[in-house]
Structure 1
Amino acid sequence: MTPAPSQRHYGMDWLRIGAFILLIFYHVGYSFTPWGYQTPTRGVVWWAEIPLLGMSAWRLALLFAISGYASAALLNRDKGDTAAFGWSRLKRLGIPLAFGLIVVVPPQPYMGLVNSGYEHGYLYYFVHDAFSFRQIRYEYVPRVMHLWFVIHLLAYTLVLCLGLLVIPARARAALRRGFERIFASPALIPLGIALVFLVRSKVPYGWTDMHDLLQDRAAHLHYGGMFLFGFLLRNSEALRVTIARQWPWAALVAVVAFGWVAYDLWLYPGNTPTPPAWRQPLVFAKSAESFAAVIALFGIADRYWNFNHPWRQTLSEAVFPVYIAHQTIMVLVMYPIRNWGLTALPEFLILCGSVAIGSWLFYLIGREVGPLRPLIGLKRHKTHRMPRPVSP
């Protein structure tokens, strides 16, 4: 990978933008699978699981790894001042998290309650029930919904800051050198896969990915480990060179592993359990897909996407506001279209278009209103405007 530690890696920006775009398609497509969702639409599309399983093993690991990479870049910008970095991240993540939990998320469980026969209007629900910390029909309120990712990311960031403050500089340097010797080598891909497999299969009490900060014991090892991997990658020239050399092999491993996952789905579709004898091979295939896909995408981002463009800064800035708004918009649109008599494809297109347009408007409006900017994850002062179209 080419940039010096002081330079911005545009490829990682494009990778982050693409990852969150895929997340929108993933959440919309989830409604058409038998895995279940709060507000099912037209019904199950038998093949919808296949592309989603092509993303589910690595999408969250990728997002946390990118977040770790960006955190290291921000710490470099703050000249290694851990306190300044921690305070900055606490504001940039904590303020929109509080705004999202109080304002953006409550309509989602409300729509679930309406679907189960809840008779009160939204104002009554918001004042009396939304933050009552109790079970109402089939919904426990309040809910964090998709903002669990921000909670986990903020927790990992604060733990990182604590480690940087507590661990002596000499010990941190030794740990970094040990990390480079182990991972910046031919062992990168097999070792990473093995570690993910151990976390997914051998941690006491089993794999837990409940999107709950207090319950996700094994998931913290996986996602927190990928966050740390991305953090260390940002300033490791040796690891960047290793990824640049090995990413084609990682891409091949990820494709082959996904083939096994898709074959298992073909044999045991929907909620049909995989036989016990085949569960460990399936877990290994998902582990291989998870780590190898992240390495492959890092390498692709560096090889092909490390270029600037007039839209990059705007799209990169829009990612966080779009993420905050997208799932609530999706849930609000799901209900009125369920009884239109449409088939799955029109519903899917309507949901994708509604989420894209609604989330983009959420960003455009919020960025122009000064007091709203910190609430949706933007800097208090505008740094740029949308690029004007360039005539041919």
Structure 2
Amino acid sequence: MARHYGMDWLRIGAFAILILYHIGMVFVPWPYHVKAVRTIDWVTVPMLFTSPWRLTLLFLVSGYASRALLVRSPGLTRFTATRTSRLLVPLAFGVAVIVPPQSWVELASQHGYARGYLHFWTRDFWRFGTLDGIVLPTWNHLWFVGYLWLYTLALAALLAVPRPTVLQRGFDRLFGGIGVVWVPILYLLIFQVYAVQRWADTHDVIGDLPAHLGFFPAFLFGFALKGSPAVMAALVRWRWLTALLALAAYAVVGGVAYTWPGTSSPPQWVADQTLWARQLQCWATIAALIGTAETYLNRDHRWRAPLVEGVFPFYLIHQTIIVVVAWWLRPSGWPLWAQFGILVAATAGGCWAFYRIGREIGWLRPLIGLRRGVAQARTSATSPNLPIV
């Protein structure tokens, strides 16, 4: 299978958007682990440009990466074991070490928790219950890693069952033309609007069926896309149509947010149309981004390899940096634009330091999602940098 550098750049961009989105959560009225002293209603409008599709895109590119890893694995068992190790070890480390400061800041800033962090981490975080309505311990943003591992197991089970070789050809036939535009949109309208009315996710594995109905098919689509030049070509061919559909759908979503700002609620009929538009925007934007990346970004650069390797460590640490720095900035009285700039700089610098330091320490590499052994920069150019997500 040829490497598509456009998908690598899309993966990098998707995680960068996620980080900016979480920084934005500090300044909007929506619930988050820490809030600025004053929030701004209109910031929700640009954030809704990415909200309907950013997580679905992450699962799709993770499925795409899984196919590349499977091809280079000696067998399905080794693939499953490797993925399990490289997902569950960082997940356990993240829950135990990276996530607790987020919960402490949330309790201290929003619930009047008076204990210090050390007491909280050694005592209250491990209560296996609730504290002022917050479940502890928790995985917070690392739910994505847990879901990705579950989807990997489900994929391995599907691959272990004898199956006809025509499945990939069927995928090519179904999505190799205009079907790549309309079939996923139809699926989303049926299973995310009519069947479950999906507005928000719980990140609770058992009670999050609406999210699974959106994320797992996207993961499988990405896996199949890796082996389908025909579908990739169709995404390129129809990128302008999907871009126009995405912009039209966002005009509805953004217009509703502008008309009913903040936490105010529109009439039910407007909310119903918004849910339609969100699902249309979801797939149309993803399809347009893939087609555009394949057309204009399918080239290598010296920054691509370290960024592809770094996105997972970045993901692990970014929200803790955001929450802690935002909590530190709350009493500063500085303008919100200055606080936003500081958060962006601190998060980018902190993520890069976390990755660069961790990659040089052998025992730390598996804890932050990197392969055991020497740093990637020291490996041969013939050893491709394969992402874990």
Whether TM exceeds 0.5 here: the answer is yes
Name the Cα RMSD after superposition: 1.6
2:318 aligned with 1:323:
no
Letter of the 1:376 counterpart: I
The 5 A counterparts of 1:53-202 are 53-78=48-73, 81-115=75-109, 116-165=111-160, 167-170=161-164, 173-202=165-194
Letter of the 1:150 counterpart: V
Partner of 1:45: 40
CA contact (8 A) 2:102 2:324 kept: yes
Letter of the 1:98 counterpart: A
Q: Shift of residue 119 of structure 1?
A: 2.5
2:8 aligned with 1:16:
no
Range with greater deviation from structure 2 (85-94 or 111-120)? 111-120
Deviations 1:181-232, CA, capped at 9 Å, x for gaps = 2222222212211111222212257555112211110110101011011111
Letter of the 2:251 counterpart: G
CA distance in structure 1 between the partners assigned to 2:104 and 2:378 by the alignment: 35
CA distance in structure 1 between the partners assigned to 2:235 and 2:378 by the alignment: 34
Partner of 1:224: 216
Of the candidates 24, 36, 47, which is equivalent to residue 31 of structure 2? 36
- Tell me: CA distance 1:273–1:244, structure 2 relative to 1, closer, same or farther (3 Å): same
CA contact (8 A) 1:45 1:344 kept: no
CA contact (8 A) 1:317 1:378 kept: yes
Runs of 4+ in 1 over 4 A off after TM superposition: 204-208
2:198 aligned with 1:203:
no
Q: Secondary structure at the match of 1:288?
A: helix
CA contact (8 A) 2:24 2:43 kept: yes
Letter of the 2:131 counterpart: I
CA distance in structure 2 between the partners assigned to 1:214 and 1:194 by the alignment: 25
Partner of 1:340: 332
CA distance in structure 2 between the partners assigned to 1:267 and 1:316 by the alignment: 39
2:356 aligned with 1:364:
yes
CA contact (8 A) 2:360 2:375 kept: no
CA distance in structure 1 between the partners assigned to 2:333 and 2:83 by the alignment: 46
2:245 aligned with 1:253:
yes
Q: Secondary structure at the match of 1:55?
A: coil
Partner of 1:214: 206
CA contact (8 A) 1:113 1:138 kept: no
Range with greater deviation from structure 2 (35-44 or 67-76)? 35-44
Of the candidates 370, 373, 378, which is equivalent to residue 378 of structure 1? 370
CA distance in structure 1 between the partners assigned to 2:11 and 2:378 by the alignment: 19
TM-score of the pair, normalised by structure 2: 0.93
CA distance in structure 2 between the partners assigned to 1:21 and 1:260 by the alignment: 25
Deviations 1:264-297, CA, capped at 9 Å, x for gaps = 1122111122211222221111111100111111
CA distance in structure 1 between the partners assigned to 2:192 and 2:263 by the alignment: 20
CA contact (8 A) 2:62 2:222 kept: yes
Letter of the 2:52 counterpart: A
Q: Secondary structure at the match of 2:363?
A: helix
CA distance in structure 1 between the partners assigned to 2:31 and 2:15 by the alignment: 22
Letter of the 2:92 counterpart: A
Partner of 1:236: 228
- Tell me: CA distance 1:213–1:242, structure 2 relative to 1, closer, same or farther (3 Å): same
CA distance in structure 1 between the partners assigned to 2:84 and 2:269 by the alignment: 46
Letter of the 1:271 counterpart: T
CA contact (8 A) 2:359 2:375 kept: no
CA contact (8 A) 2:33 2:106 kept: yes
Deviations 1:226-273, CA, capped at 9 Å, x for gaps = 101111100012211211211111111111110111111122111122
2:255 aligned with 1:263:
yes
Letter of the 2:188 counterpart: V
CA distance in structure 2 between the partners assigned to 1:316 and 1:154 by the alignment: 19
CA contact (8 A) 1:258 1:289 kept: yes
CA contact (8 A) 2:28 2:43 kept: yes
Q: Secondary structure at the match of 2:358?
A: helix
Q: Shift of residue 141 of structure 1?
A: 0.9
The number of residues matched between the two structures is 378
CA contact (8 A) 1:208 1:216 kept: no
Q: Shift of residue 148 of structure 1?
A: 0.5
The unaligned stretches of length 5 or more in structure 1 are: 388-392
Partner of 1:390: none
CA contact (8 A) 1:42 1:347 kept: no
Q: Shift of residue 174 of structure 1?
A: 3.1
Q: Secondary structure at the match of 2:28?
A: coil
Identity of aligned residues (%): 41
